[in-house]
Amino acid sequence: MSARRIFAGPARLAAIAPYLWMALFFLVPFGFVLKISLSQTAVAQPPYLPVFDFTQGLAAIKAAFAALSLDNYRLLVSDNLYVLSYLRSLVVAAVSTAILLLIGYPIAYGMARLPQRWQGIAMMLVIVPFWTSFLIRIYAWINILQHDGLLNQILLALHVVSAPVVWLSTDSAMYLGIVYSYLPFMILPLYATLAKMDPALTEAANDLGASPQATFWLVTFPLSLPGVGAGALLCFIPILGEFVIPDLLAGSDSMMIGQTLWLEFFTNKDWPVAAAVAVVLLVLLVVPLALYDRLQRRQLEAGR
């Protein structure tokens, strides 16, 4: 028996504590979300019915099960508010991901072209904003974009505009905030694939007479597709459920689904509808999450 196999046994035991923790605090809660999404809103504490009471015997539990209904889901389908929120989230997530790719790719490409000793520093510079508070970075933009903020002051001083432009509470501000916050998530996986690429490949294409453009589109870009996929998923999935950025930067006339969920939960105190909104959002995310899980697994376990 090799040493590697001997190690595997105790290493498996290490899984027990994190396994139980994630099962209890990540998996089980989805069961409660599902159950409450089938409940009725009530003026009570907690604000939903039925409440399962396992001390009341089997009949009471049966009655509680019978009281569950799909009413909240019917509401989601019939009320335009929800359908429009989901659609808006999908559009915002798709458009933002496309913009992020357009901006992030040249930056990652530039990083991969730097001399070796500069690459580590460039990478550090991209990672630092990822670590710094995301709320603070959004707030920094409010400073700049507000009515008498720096941007309008500069534009007025340069006589580009004659009156202050409304930037805050617009879709442009929201897209700016999203792109700004998620840029490191796009750059890092792209850089990781681009930096690993063998320069001999582009050299070969060049020797065979390909123009720089042709080399890029026929060699570099296709080889970087795994990075493109990883970056796109890392951005698309969380943006779909984004709450803080649209809440602070976008106008109030149309909402993303994260805002709708927040409103139902905190303002309307309608927990069952909020839970149903979450379940449908999860269903929308099943395919991208599965893709992301596969990518993550392949990437992390390649070294095994």
Partner 1 sequence: MTARPFRRISRFNVTSLALGLVFLYLPIVILVIYSFNASRLVTVWGGWSLRWYSEFFNDRAMLDAAWMSFKVAAVSATLATLLGTLAAVALSRGERFKGRTLFSGMLYAPLVMPEVITGLSLLLLFVALNAERGFWTVTIAHTTLTMCFVTVVVQSRLGKLDRSLEEAAMDLGCDPLRAFVSVTLPLILPSIVAGWMLAFTLSLDDVVIASFTTGPGSATLPIRIYSEVRLGVKPQINAICTLVLGLITVVIVAASVATKLTSARGESAAPL
Q: How far is the CB of 285 from partner 1 (least distance, A)?
A: 8
The reply to whether 100 sits near partner 1 by the rule CB under 8 A is no
Contact 146, 168 (CB under 8 A): yes
E strands present in 68-200? none
Please report, as a single letter, which amino acid is at residue 283.
Answer: V
- Which listed residue (60, 103, 156, 166) binds partner 1 by CB under 8 A? 103
- Which listed residue (76, 99, 174, 275) binds partner 1 by CB under 8 A? 275
The reply to whether 73 sits near partner 1 by the rule CB under 8 A is no
Q: Which stretch binds partner 1 (CB under 8 A): 56-64, 65-73, 76-84, 271-279?
A: 271-279
Helices within 23-79 (DSSP H only): 28-37, 58-66, 71-78
Q: How far is the CB of 70 from partner 1 (least distance, A)?
A: 18
Instruction: Count residues near partner 1 (CB under 8 A).
Output: 116
Judged by beta carbon, residue 5 or residue 159, the one nearer partner 1 is 5
The reply to whether 153 sits near partner 1 by the rule CB under 8 A is yes
How far apart CA 96 and CA 185 sit, in angstroms, is 12
Contact 186, 238 (CB under 8 A): no
Identify residues 185-224 at the interface with partner 1 (CB under 8 A): 185, 187-189, 192, 199, 202-203, 206, 212, 215
By DSSP bridging, strand 40-41 and strand 48-49 are antiparallel
Identify residues 228-257 at the interface with partner 1 (CB under 8 A): 233-234, 237-238, 240-244, 247-248
Provide the angle, in degrees to the nearest 10, between the axes of the packed helices 150-157 and 134-145: 30
The reply to whether 43 sits near partner 1 by the rule CB under 8 A is no
Judged by beta carbon, residue 30 or residue 65, the one nearer partner 1 is 30
Q: How far is the CB of 138 from partner 1 (least distance, A)?
A: 8
How far apart CA 266 and CA 45 sit, in angstroms, is 14
Judged by beta carbon, residue 127 or residue 225, the one nearer partner 1 is 127
The reply to whether 87 sits near partner 1 by the rule CB under 8 A is no
The reply to whether 274 sits near partner 1 by the rule CB under 8 A is yes
The reply to whether 125 sits near partner 1 by the rule CB under 8 A is yes
123 Cβ contact list (under 8 Å, min separation 6): 111, 188, 191
Pair of tokens at residue 287: 């395919």
The reply to whether 106 sits near partner 1 by the rule CB under 8 A is yes
| Greatest pairwise CA separation for the chain in angstroms | 81
How far apart CA 196 and CA 190 sit, in angstroms, is 10
Q: How far is the CB of 301 from partner 1 (least distance, A)?
A: 7
- Which listed residue (63, 67, 91, 135) binds partner 1 by CB under 8 A? 135
Q: What does R_g of the chain's alpha carbons equal in angstroms?
A: 25
Residue 154's CB: how many other CB atoms inside 10 A?
Answer: 12
Q: How far is the CB of 185 from partner 1 (least distance, A)?
A: 7
The reply to whether 91 sits near partner 1 by the rule CB under 8 A is no
Contact 190, 104 (CB under 8 A): yes
The reply to whether 289 sits near partner 1 by the rule CB under 8 A is yes
